[in-house]
A and B are shown apart, each in its own frame.
Chain A
């Protein structure tokens, strides 16, 4: 990633923090920097700028992991396996961040850190599914076999992501905004955010996506270096 993009990311992220944290939420926004009041959420709606991008990037990372898994199965190139693993590792970190930020938010909105709400439960199951993939990888010594199994597992694991992230929490009754019985906040992005709030939200998604790409690229290169050094040791 070149220095211009890094500088852009640095400034963009500071702006997102500034706007996301300090722009006021009012009943009837009149200025460009005012966000609308969302029933049932109030000031706590500001988490949307930080929590949603982490959950979104976890899904994107798991998708990338599946895509490079398929690429590996087609080409048998271990670089694709490294890309899949790099994406998986960063995605898992973002999934944990989404869980932790959501849990802290839940304490202040719902009264306790963990409520076994359908959204929390489904994300917890996703963490278990992808955590098992790490266990699977660490249990296999042979590179090709590990890459093959990991690729197949990442394909089947991703098939559950749309169901657990987008479908199950929306068709079941729960506490999370957007659940089937939610009559106050509802699907926030579609109905309650005004243009300015949506703009900051998409800037937030953009900045977190650039950060994800940077981390993924670094992680991939680190995995390749590790493999090269391991091969060298074997030869020596």
Chain B
């Protein structure tokens, strides 16, 4: 804690990493959803 209070740039770094982790998993989740919609559309096309 003393290290962080003397080197506040590391707090900025930690916050940035937390935001990046959030963005990464959000985009990855959207990727998965798009993939599942694509496969549903493909199955629908095959059934037609």
Q: How far is the CA of A229 from the CA of B12 in the complex (A)?
A: 43
**Number of residues on chain B facing chain A (CB within 8 A):** 17
Cβ contact within 8 Å between B27 and A214: yes
A93 at the interface (CB under 8 A from B): no
Please provide the chain A residues from 205 to 236 with a CB less than 8 Å away from any CB of chain B in the complex: 214-215, 218, 221-222, 225, 228-229
Q: Which B residues touch A215, using CB under 8 A? A: 27
Return the contact of B13 from the options A17, A214, A222 (Cβ within 8 A).
A17
Return the contact of B17 from the options A1, A9, A14, A229 (Cβ within 8 A).
A14
**B contacts with A: majority SS:** helix
Return the contact of B34 from the options A10, A13, A225, A228 (Cβ within 8 A).
A225
Q: How far is the CA of A54 from the CA of B14 in the complex (A)?
A: 21
- Assuming the A-B contacts A218-B30, A225-B37, A225-B41, are A13 and B20 also in contact, with contact meaning beta carbons closer than 8 angstroms in the complex? yes
Q: How far is the CA of A228 from the CA of B30 in the complex (A)?
A: 18
Please provide the chain B residues from 29 to 48 with a CB less than 8 Å away from any CB of chain A in the complex: 30-31, 34, 37-38, 41
Q: Which B residues touch A159, using CB under 8 A? A: none
Closest CB of chain B to A219's CB: distance in Å? 10
Cβ contact within 8 Å between A21 and B12: yes
Q: How far is the CA of A34 from the CA of B10 in the complex (A)?
A: 16
Interface flags, B6-22, vs A, CB<8A=1, else 0:
01011011001100100
Q: Which A residues touch B17, using CB under 8 A? A: 14, 17
Q: How far is the CA of A228 from the CA of B43 in the complex (A)?
A: 13
Please provide the chain A residues from 169 to 217 with a CB less than 8 Å away from any CB of chain B in the complex: 214-215
Q: How far is the CA of A13 from the CA of B17 in the complex (A)?
A: 9
Binding site for B on A (CB under 8 A): 1, 6, 9-10, 13-14, 17-18, 21-22, 214-215, 218, 221-222, 225, 228-229
Instruction: Kindly list 18 other residue pairs between chains A and B, CB separation below 8 angstroms, not including A1-B31, A6-B28, A21-B9.
Output: A13-B24, A17-B13, A17-B16, A17-B17, A17-B20, A18-B13, A21-B13, A22-B10, A214-B27, A218-B27, A218-B30, A218-B31, A218-B34, A222-B34, A225-B34, A225-B38, A228-B41, A229-B41
